[in-house]
Amino acid sequence: MNESKDRRIREATARVIRQEELTEGICSLVLETGLADDAQPGQFVNLYCTDGARLLPRPISICDASEGTLRLVYRVVGGGTGELSALAAGDTVRMTGCLGNGYDLTAAAGKRVIAVGGGLGIPPMLFLMRLLEADRSAGGPASLTAVLGYRDLRTVFLRDDFDRFGSVVTASDDGSVGYHGTVVDAIREEKLACDVLYACGPMPMLRALARFAEEQRQTGKDIKCYVSLEERMACGIGACLGCVTRTAAVDEHSRVHNARICVEGPVFEVSEIAWD
């Protein structure tokens, strides 16, 4: 929960390089934009619709970024993301970014790291894994494992993209892919050793990880668990106070037990959050 020091938000009109549907209702959108240059894993961008009936930006996590190119993988859930899914090569889209704090990658140095993604929480883990793997020889993580949770075989996406960056464990609700159970079940059953967890996914998964981290701490283990939270947003830049989360301590900005997910987050260490 650290507001990045050199936070600079820009508005840009990005050009679509390509878009494809990875599996039913999950789209991969590759954009040409200078916003990509400052992107960090765990950050997000706001995409604006052109239909005047849809005023609020769509916050979408960054799946990968390299110089001038941003990849977003998102689920089509309604009219706004439906509009985005119709974008084709050569089209443009207005956006602001990069938003939020991103994961603290320095915590990975010399540590055994697990990146946990559940459903639409999987995309940002790809960017994170790629950067951590690139650091392996230069003081990065001691080991790197991805644990990916899917609903079922039909909803598998991005699975093979992770192979290049470390070992991969999968889990699914119905057992049709990998472990039959949750990502936390998979971590326990595989007895995956970890000092640092980076996670993104649905709230029940993040709660379970927070409990897991707390259990580990009670056995005397020094473990860090960073989770990316989600909430309905309006501005995305800390002005409207729409997207707060309850914090364990009084937040420095709000002076109450609320932190802005769009600025102080979306990534928080689990001990910073009031989970009940």
Partner 1 sequence: MAADLTVTIAGVTLKNPVMSASGTFGNGREYEDLIDLTRLGALVTKGVSAVPWEGNPTPRIAETPAGMLNAIGLQNPGIDVFIEREMPFLAALRGKGTRIIVNVCGHSVEEYLTVIDRLRDQPVDLLEINVSCPNVREGAIAFGQDPVMLKEVTEACKEHAAQPIIMKLTPNVTDIRVLARAAEEGGADAISLINTLTGMKIDVEKRRFLLANRTGGLSGPAIHPVAVRMVYEASHAVSIPVIGMGGIASGTDAVEMMLAGAAAVAVGTMTFHEPGAMVRIIDEIAAYAERHGIRQIRELTGAVQG
Residues 82-141 that bind partner 1 (CB under 8 A): 96
Binding window for partner 1 (CB under 8 A); candidates: 34-42, 84-92, 201-209, 247-255: 247-255
Contact between 254 and partner 1 per CB under 8 A? yes
Token digits of residue 171: 């889990």
Q: Which residues pair with 20 in a beta bridge?
A: 28
Show contacts with partner 1 in window 14-53 (CB under 8 A): 48, 52-53
Q: Any contact of residue 10 with partner 1 (CB under 8 A)?
A: yes
Q: Position of tokens 């914090």?
A: 247
**Dihedral, CA of residue 112, residue 117, residue 121 and residue 123, to nearest 10:** 80
Please say whether the dihedral angle defined by the alpha carbons of residues 105, 107, 110 and 112, taken in this order, is positive or negative. negative
Task: Please report whether residue 5 would count as binding partner 1 according to CB under 8 A.
Answer: no
Here's the x/- map for partner 1, 207-246, by CB under 8 A: it reads as ------------------------xxxxx-xxxxxxxxx-
Find how far residue 204's CA is from the centre of its chain: 15
DSSP, res 263: T
Scan for tokens 């995956």, then name that residue.
192
Stretch that binds partner 1, among 6-14, 101-109, 156-164, 210-218 (CB under 8 A): 6-14
Rounded-to-integer distance, Cα 203 and Cα 11, Å: 30
9 or 17, CB closer to partner 1? 9
- Applying CB under 8 A, the residues found at the interface with partner 1 are 8-11, 48, 52-57, 80, 96, 231-235, 237-245, 253-258
